[in-house]
Structure 1
Amino acid sequence: MSGNPLSTAAPWSTIAVGYAEMAEKMMRPFAARALELAAPGADARVLDVAAGPGTLSLLAAQQVSKVRALDFSTEMLEVLRRKATAAGVDNIDAVTGDGQQLPYGDGEFDAAFSMFGLMFFPDRSRGFAELHRVLRPGGVAVVSSWAPMDESPLAELIFRAMVAGTPAEGKLPETDMFSLQNPERFETEMRAGGFGEVIVQRHTVELTYPDSAALYRELSEGGAPMAVMRTGFDEAGWAARTALIENYLRENYIPGSPLATTAFLAVGRKD
C-alpha cells in the first residue's frame, strides 16, 4: 500500500468545492484533450475513474450516450451531481467506489478515462488492469499524470511557495522515475495492464492569475497538497505558514504572467 496521503479520500473531500473551481480552469483543458484523443462516438458508453467533481464527465456527457463517474470521495461526487443538475445533464451516473476494484462488468464501456487519479492509486497495476477489463474489445483508455516539476513552471512555483512556508522541514519533490512522471514507465505499466497501441504524449496548458493573492486563494481552497500540509499545524501555526507562502508568491509571481503546466496523456487500446 502507498503511504501517500493523496491516495486517501480525506484531503480531496476537504477541498471538494474549491477543487471544482480550480479544476474548471486547470484540469478542463486536459480533459478536453483526452476526449479528443479517445474520440468516443455519440452512442458511446464512457467511464470516468477518479472523476472528482466531474470535469471530464460533464464534458463527455455532452458528446456521448452514457457516462459512469466513479470516485472514492462522496463529497466530490456531490459537487459533480450539483453541477450536472445545474447544467441540465441527466446522463451521468455517479457512484462512490475504488478504481482498483471497479463495480462494472467485463466489456461494458467504449472508452475509459482516469484524469490525474490513477497516478495516486496504491496499486496502479490493478488500476490499469481494471480499466482494461471493463472496456469492450477495440475500446480506448486515456490516463493522465503530471509531468516532472521541472517541466511545469506553475508546479515549481507552487512547491517552492510551500517550502517557503515550512523553511525548517520543507523540501522540493524530486522526480520519481518509478512513477507515471516517467513516460517510459507510464507506457510500460499501461502495456502491462493489457493495452496495446500505447502512446504517451505531453500536453501543456498556460494559466494566468490577476495577482498572487488570487493564485494563493486557488491553492489554499482547491489544492489537496495544501490541505495535507494544513493538517500538521494548529491555527496560529498555519497563519504563520500562510504569511510565508503568500509573501513568497508576492515576490515571485508577476500579476497576469502566464505559467505553464504540463501533463502526460497515455492512450491505449484493448485488442
Structure 2
Amino acid sequence: MTDRPTEAWTSEDAYERYVGRWSRLVAPRFLTWLPGESSAVWCDVGCGTGALAHAILATQNPVRVLGVDRAEPYLAAARRAATDLRFDTAASGATAIPARDGEFDRVVSALLLNFVPQPAEALAEMRRITRPGGLIGGYVWDYAEGMRLIRLFWDAATALDTDAAELDEGRRFPICRPDPLRALFVAAGLVEVDVGEVTVPTVFADFDDLWEPFLGGQGPAPGYCAGLSGDRRDALRERLRAMLPRRPDGAIPLEARAWTVRGRVR
C-alpha cells in the first residue's frame, strides 16, 4: 500500500500555477449559473487565494464578502489581490465559521467540499450562517473524467505504479460527481437543489508550463510527485509527456470540467 503523501497548502504561487489559475476561469461562469442578488452579503468558504471571492467583487455588486480559509498564506494572497474595502478574511475551517446565524445571503465554496473530512458538517455550518431564503453553492473538479490535467497525471502515474491508484482523486473523492453532490445538499435540508457543470479551456504554453506546477507540492498530485525518487519522477514526466495532445506551436490544449451545485435554505 502506498503511503499517502503530505498535501501541503502553503504556497500561494505554487497553488496559482497548479489549479488556481483555472479556478479563476470557472468562478465567473459559476456565478452566472448561481442566481444573483445585488447588494447581497457573501461568504466564500475555503476561499484559498481568492478566485471566487474576487469574481464576486467584480461581478455581483456585493455589500460585503468574507473569505474564510485555514491557510494564512492563501488568505494573505487573497487580500493582496483585492484592495476592495468590501472584502475581509478570517482564518478558520469550514466547520467553525466565525459568523452569526443567518448572517449571509450567499454562502459559496470553490474546490473545497472534497477536502473537508466531514462534508455534511461543513454544509451544516454553511447553512447555519445563511439566512432563510439564501443560497448555498459551490463547485468541485470532475476528477474522474473532465479535469484533464489531473486525470492524465493519474493515468500516467498508475501505469507506472499501481499503488498510485489509491491516491487518485477520481477514486478518493467520490463526492465529486453529480449524484453525490445532489444527495449531500438534499440531505442537508436544502430545497431547489440543482447540479450543473462548467467546462473551461486549460491551454498550456508548452510541456514545462504543464509539468512544473506538479513540482510545487500543493495538493494530492504534486504531493505524490514530490515523494518520488528522481528516476521515478523522470519516468512519470516522460510518460505524461507522451500522452498529451499538442498544437503545431507546441501548446497543449486541455479542458477542465467542474461540477456545480446549489440549494436554497428554507
TM-score scaled by length of structure 2: 0.86
2:180 counterpart residue number: 185
What displacement does 1:37 show?
2.5
* Cα shift readout 1:131-179 (whole Å, capped 9, x = no counterpart): 1111111111112122242334333212224446x63643373855983
Which of 153, 159, 166 is the matching residue for 2:154? 159
Q: 1:140 to 1:95 in 2, by over 3 A?
A: same
Q: Which runs of 5+ in 1 are unaligned?
A: none
AA at the equivalent of 1:243: D
Match of 1:107 in 2: 102
**Shift, 1:117, TM fit:** 0.6
1:251 aligns with 2:242: yes
RMSD: 2.6
CA distance in 2, matches of 1:73, 1:204: 27
What aligned pairs does 1:106-145 form with structure 2 within 5 A after superposition?
A: 106-145=101-140
Task: Give the alignment partner of residue 87 of structure 2, picking from 79, 86, 92.
Answer: 92
> Alpha carbons of 1:257 and 1:175: their partners in 2 closer, same or farther (altered >3 Å)?
closer
Deviation at 1:210, TM superposition (A): 1.9
TM-score for both structures, normalised by structure 1: 0.84
Q: Show structure 2 runs of 5+ residues with no match.
A: none
CA separation of 1:79 and 1:175: change in aligned 2, threshold 3 A: closer
Partners of 2:5 and 2:183 lie apart in 1 by: 25
Instruction: Say which SS state the counterpart of residue 251 (structure 1) adopts.
Output: helix
> Structure 1's 157 and 231: CA in aligned 2 closer, same or farther, altered over 3 A?
closer
Name the residue aligned to 1:55: 51
* Cα pair 1:99 1:118 within 8 Å, conserved: no
Is 1:28 the equivalent of 2:24?
yes
Shift of 1:33: 1.9
Answer yes or no: is the 8 Å Cα contact 2:110–2:139 preserved in 1: yes
Over 3 Å counting, the alpha-carbon distance change for 1:174 and 1:35 in structure 2 is closer
Report how many aligned residue pairs link the two structures.
257
Alpha-carbon shift at residue 231 of structure 1 (Å): 5.4
8 Å Cα contact 2:153/2:221 also seen in 1: no
Measured after TM superposition, the shift of residue 12 of structure 1 is: 1.2
Alpha-carbon displacement from aligned partner over 1:197-221 (angstroms, at most 9, x marks no partner): 0001122122111221110013323
Counterpart AA for 1:217: E
- Greater mean deviation of Cα atoms: 171-180 or 40-49: 171-180
Q: Percent identity?
A: 25
Query: Which residue of 1 is the match for residue 9 of structure 2?
Result: 12
